[in-house]
Amino acid sequence: MAHALEGLFEKGALDVYQTPIVMKKGRLAVKVSVLVDEKRIEIIKETLFKETSAIGLRMYPVHKVELERSYETLQTAYGQVAVKKAFYEGTCVNKKFEYEDCKKIAKAMNVPLKEAYAWLAEEDNRKDKRHAFDRIEEDT
């Protein structure tokens, strides 16, 4: 299945995920969901039929809503880390550190990945608080 899913991304799928399901008569199965632009539907169908055991597909339109995003590089005591920020109506509502950068830091520091994430979040929060204080100082 992994090979088929990789092939879907190579053919232009925007997202692919698997969900374990129980079919009629209690048979276990895996539902493969694919988000794809209309212009790539035929090549995705071909890949699904040739690379999996699927004998049918259910297709329906999906309307995707995406937040505005920005990408930044954060200088930390542990090295540079790429950060993706998501904005709703101009306000940052989500922030994620790049997985590969965090993995590299965790390996270099010989700590679990979740600990590296925690360090980075803590340092980033301190920087955010300092910037907020700077803005207050400028406003006065």
pLDDT of 29 higher than 80: yes
Are the beta carbons of 93 and 67 closer than 8 angstroms?
yes
Decide if 60 is inside a domain.
Answer: no
DSSP code of residue 90: T
90 within domain boundaries: yes
The strand ranges marked E within the chain are: 15-22, 28-35, 68-76, 79-88, 91-97
User: Is residue 113 situated within a structural domain?
Assistant: yes
Same domain, 36 and 80: no
Instruction: Among 16-20, 21-25, 92-96, 134-138, name the one with the lowest average pLDDT.
Output: 134-138
Cα(101)–Cα(130) distance, rounded to whole angstroms? 24
* 46 and 72 share one domain: no
In a domain, 61, yes or no: no
38-70: pLDDT as tens digits: 999 999 999 999 999 999 999 999 988 999 999
Query: Domain for residue 59, yes or no?
Result: no
Range of the domain at 21: 2-51
Element (H, E) at 43: helix 41-51
Query: Structurally, how many domains does the chain consist of?
Result: 2
**What is the structure's pLDDT at 132?**
52
Same domain (yes/no): 73, 45: no
Q: Could you tell me if residue 41 is inside a domain?
A: yes
Find the CATH number of the domain harbouring 107.
Answer: 3.10.20.300
Average pLDDT over residues 28-39: 94
Could you tell me if residue 128 is inside a domain? yes
